[in-house]
């Protein structure tokens, strides 16, 4: 999340593929789930910025055509649920507010992952 936004959007599909690959391959603990979730929220927020909003169709196409993490819905929902449950904790409110701003896309990833799993 310290990389320039322009570099992230140039390689959006590869970046998202890498994030979901990390999430799916490391199943031992929650540590990477939270890091990947926060990075995903950061990237989606970046695309919501006026400077990069012309990459929104790229994100839409990725979710519809290229996203392939069949079990991501479990981990994404778990992290989102944790942040909602921790809403009163002042150290977690920033994470929750950031996630709520991009909730539409988080749910699109969750739904697409679940649909892929059911197939």
Reported as a single tens digit per residue, the pLDDT across 38-85 is 999 999 999 988 888 899 999 999 999 999 999 999 999 999 999 999
Compare 117 and 26 and report the one with higher pLDDT.
117
- pLDDT for residue 94 is more than 80: yes
* Beta strand spans in 9-114 (E): none
CB–CB of 73/110 below 8 Å? yes
Characterize 60-73 residue by residue with b for buried, 16 or more Cβ atoms within 10 angstroms of its Cβ, and e for exposed. eebeeeebebbebb
Output the pLDDT for position 28. Answer: 64
Q: Which domain holds residue 66?
A: 5-118
Reported as a single tens digit per residue, the pLDDT across 107-116 is 999 999 999 9
Give how many domains the chain has, as a whole number: 1
Reported as a single tens digit per residue, the pLDDT across 2-37 is 777 787 888 999 999 999 999 988 766 677 899 999
């Amino acid at each position: 999340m310290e990389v320039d936004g322009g570099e992230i959007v140039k390689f959006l599909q590869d970046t998202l593929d890498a994030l979901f690959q990390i999430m799916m391959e490391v199943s031992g603990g929650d540590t990477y789930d939270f890091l990947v979730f926060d990075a995903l929220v950061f990237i989606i927020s970046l695309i919501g910025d006026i400077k990069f909003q012309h990459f929104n169709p790229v994100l839409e196409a990725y979710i519809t055509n290229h996203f392939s993490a069949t079990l991501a819905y479990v981990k994404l929902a778990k992290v989102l649920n944790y942040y909602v449950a921790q809403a009163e904790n002042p150290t977690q409110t920033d994470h929750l507010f950031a996630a709520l701003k991009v909730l539409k896309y988080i749910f699109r990833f969750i739904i697409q992952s679940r649909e892929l799993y059911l197939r």
